[in-house]
Amino acid sequence: MPHIHSHAPGPRRAPLLIVSVVVAMVAIFAGTLVALRVGIGAPRGTVPALAIITIKSPSTTPFWQAITKPADQAAILDVTPSTIPCDTPNAHSDPRQINVVINKKHCLSPRSFAPSDLVTIGGATLTSAAASAFGKMADAAAAAGVPLSVTSSYRSYQSQVSTYNTWVAQNGSADAADKVSARPGYSEHQTGLALDLAAGSCGLECFTTTAQSAWLITHAADYGFINRYPRGAEAITGYSPEPWHYRYVGVAVAQDMAARGIPTLEQYWNITGGDY
Ligand SMILES: [Zn+2]
């Protein structure tokens, strides 16, 4: 009787084989379907990062065209390194608020932000509140015999892309460009709250010695402006001294900073700063 047993597997082997073949065919069919889907989906679903950048920045000066060295090209494509938590929301990250703090650790969010209420007063294009405050300050300065000239005020994200890449092309690397120009999305000028001032044709380093600069040091706070990058605060602000660069923060904050002798927004609001 053990033979009955030995025959038993016989008839069962055939269905098993059929099942195996069917499973294999289904697997092949499914594999083909997946392959087809991937093949069809790829052009739309997996657009390379570079292509996204191309779509977002089809501007006059593409990031990579002015660059010759491959190492620099990589650095430029990475103008907003993922290691920088610049989009982390905090009480001072809203570029529509006058309390916003933009520095090399905190970029604009969104990086392509543009103010909705820009107006031009006294040669400065700023948000309406900042422009009207500047208008009053400019009138007072002129009345005091120290008329102010504006050399730069609001700058768009796209104009900063061009500016920054010009510096990269000229200086040969992103590191060198970072010393003289803010990366796109990291410039306070993009908030519409900052401007560069001059005394006639005397701006930048020349401005320090002028009566205009001395007047501003005494009176700017009364109109809501502060000198944003003071001497001795390079490690805190991330910028060399810029006696010509003023930032609108509102009268209350500007006067409070002056009264308490707090030279930077980073210290006043306890916001991290320094280099990228
Ligand atoms: Zn400036």
Please report where in the chains the tokens 């069962």 appear, as a residue: 12
Distance 245 CA to ligand 1 centre (A): 4
CATH number at residue 231: 3.30.1380.10
Helices marked H in the chain:
2-7, 9-45, 49-56, 70-77, 128-143, 157-171, 174-178, 211-219, 234-237, 251-260, 265-269
Name which of 254, 197, 245, 195 is nearest 223 in CA terms.
254
How many CA atoms does the CB half-sphere of 267 hold within 13 Å? 17
Judge if 90 and 176 occupy the same domain. Answer: yes
Q: How many domains is the chain built from?
A: 2
pTM beyond cutoff 0.75: no
Q: What is the pLDDT of residues 118-132, one digit of tens each?
A: 999 999 999 999 999
Calpha distance 270→248 (Å, rounded):
18
- Centre of ligand 1 to C-alpha 241, Å, is 11
- The DSSP 8-state label assigned to residue 135 in this structure reads H
Please, what is the angle between helix 211-219 and helix 128-143, to 10°?
Answer: 120
Q: Is residue 72 part of a domain?
A: yes
Q: At what angle do helices 70-77 and 157-171 cross, to 10 degrees?
A: 160
CA 70 to centroid of ligand 1, rounded, Å: 31
pLDDT surpassing 50 at residue 34: no
Domain of 25 in residue numbering reads as 2-46
- Residues flanking ion ligand 1, Cβ below 5 Å: 196, 245
- Statement to judge: residues 70 and 145 lie in one domain: yes
Percent of the chain with pLDDT over 90: 57
CA of 110 to the centre of ligand 1 (A): 20
Q: What is the pLDDT of residues 197-247, one digit of tens each?
A: 999 999 999 999 999 999 999 999 999 999 999 999 999 999 999 999 999
- What are residue 119's DSSP bridge partners? 126
Based on the fold, state whether residues 170 and 81 are members of the same structural domain.
Answer: yes
Q: Which active-site residues does the annotation give?
A: 242
